[in-house]
Amino acid sequence: MLRKLRVVAAAATFTLITLYFLDFAGWLPESFHGLVSIQFLPAVLSLSLVTLAGLILATLLFGRIYCSVVCPTGIFQDIVNRIAGRLQKKRKRFAFAPAKTILRWSVLGVVVVTYLFGLTVVLSLLDPYGAYGRLVSNVFSPVYMAGNNLLEAIFTKFDNYTFYRTEVAVVSPLAFIVALATFGIIGFLAWKHGRSYCNTICPVGTLLGFLSKYALFKIRIDKNNCNGCGVCASKCKASCIDRKTHTVDYSRCIACFDCLDNCRQQAIQFSSTASKAAVPLAVKKGGIPQTVPTSSQPAPCSPPETAGVSESPDRSRRQFLGTLLATAALLPEAFARKQEELLSGRKGYKRQHPLCPPGAVSPEHLLKHCTACHLCIAKCPSHVLKPAVTEYGLGGVMQPVMYFDRGFCNFDCTVCSDVCPNGAIHPLTVEQKHLTQVGRVVFIKEDCIVYADETSCGACSEHCPTQAVTMIPYKEGLTIPSIDPDICVGCGGCEYVCPARPFRAIHVEGNPVQQQAKPFERSGGSDIKIDDFGF
């Protein structure tokens, strides 16, 4: 019964979290955000004390139930392992394996130390929630959108317009490669070894494993009923049941309850007290009875057998490889940009400070709290958020940064601040968003088509919601942009619609720390809803 409840709860959690990431049309209610808010590391980074206390209390009561029911990466591994069991001709069996205690705590130590020194990319890569979020956003999402477009094409032929076509694109090649590698590594480990990733690499699994040793309710073996058949150990995907010593390594038990359903002797219980055995248990081994001492104490944890210490990669090597990868990714763009400069005789604007999402405060604040789950990127309706490469430095790889090549930040939109579970992007009301200045407008007169080609324009002014860009008389009936950076909020509407090529004449320069823009007064006339190009 417990196993069935666990399966139903895990399936519901996994399905809803996955759909919440994939939901580009906004069909799902914002209340689904609660499923990502209860993830462990986001709760730690956002200092959500109530959520954190609830997760710790649940672990101290029931063990690592979080890993079986709440963590999407853990549930993903169960699904992969289930598929592997169905596809393999030979029935998949597990066996007890010694705990890799030194490896587990070494990985956790590396995560903590690198985070304290500002290299948050290590935490981002190993956070189980963030890893699954990137997997859905960068690998599953393009497939999902392609499927949507296929259905749109089919339904439209029958004059049914339930579906609408959407752009299918890989937002970031680097993020796609990282997500695909995550899929391959975790998927392979789950296919071959069940939950080995959770009990060797995952920092959350190590922390909760330590707490679960003191859980009130545990998997306990009744020595009076056990005949030593080993079925429970063969079904344990955490490889934490030692049939020879009748012990369970509670630091690795993920409370999946598979052993409960498979024990024909009813010798395994999930209870708060150990079964008292008054008579020594005779276990048949090679036909010779062996006496196992009884104990009134709970079944002890299996003694951890230390594996070889996993040496953490050299820091300079990490930095070199990271820089090399980032440089290789940017070389084509840099080459194309240089060619454009040579052909046009103009020099494009290079942003000095990255544009953080509204409410992110500063790059430093973002780096301390963001695990690069990409939920904000997946939910952004204007597609202005992208995974960073070098914008924040090596420590901020894959964290969200704003670009205006595919759209601009809607003046009334607060989606990214609403969905962020980590506290990396503070929640903003619409009124607060109207005055949050993520950057300031910069105008390059020489690149403007009004100046260079003496062509009438005004797209930037038409799309400015705060009137930070206005048109003033220029010559011969032409008008040219005039800017007021103090009332600019950095939405990027002007930059997105600017028709000047190869370089736009108007840009947004990021603020090192987000400021409050000066209040502006709307000019007379009716409000115009901005949702497309200005021409």
219-278 and 315-516 in the same fold: yes
Is the pLDDT assigned to residue 323 strictly greater than 60? no
> Above pLDDT 70, what percent of the chain?
83
pLDDT at site 527: 45
In terms of C-beta distances under 8 Å and separation of at least 24 residues, what long-range contacts does 465-471 make, across chains too?
465/411, 465/489, 465/491, 465/493, 465/530, 466/434, 466/517, 466/520, 467/520, 467/522, 467/523, 468/441, 468/520, 469/441, 469/443, 469/494, 469/506
Tens of pLDDT along 210-224? Answer: 999 999 999 998 888
pLDDT at site 29: 82
* Measured CA distances, 433 to 414, 436, 514 (Å): 7, 5, 11
Is the pLDDT assigned to residue 190 strictly greater than 90? yes
pLDDT at site 71: 96
CA atoms within 13 A on the CB side of 188: 5
3-state secondary structure of 307: coil
CATH number for the region 315-516 comes to: 3.30.70.20
- Enumerate the domain spans of the chain: 2-212, 219-278, 315-516
Strands (E), 216-319: 218-221, 241-242, 247-248, 268-271, 281-285, 288-292
Q: Supply 440's token pair.
A: 């300031």
pLDDT at site 366: 94
CA dihedral sign, ordered 395, 397, 400, 401 = positive
Is the pLDDT assigned to residue 464 strictly greater than 50? yes
Question: Is the domain covering 219-278 a CATH 3.40.50.300 domain?
Answer: no
Cβ count near 452 (within 10 Å):
14
Contact of 395 with 372, CB cutoff 8 Å? no
Contact of 143 with 85, CB cutoff 8 Å? no
Which of 81, 83, 104 lies closest to 186, judged by CA?
81
CA distance linking residue 388 with residue 392, whole number of Å: 7
pLDDT at site 170: 86
pLDDT at site 388: 94
pLDDT band at 326 (very low <50, low <70, confident <90, very high): very low
Q: Which residue has the higher pLDDT, 528 or 432?
A: 432
Supply angle C-alpha 388, 533, 346, rounded to 5: 65
Reported pTM:
0.80
Q: Identify the residue whose tokens are 């002797």.
A: 265
- Entry field: residues in the chain: 535
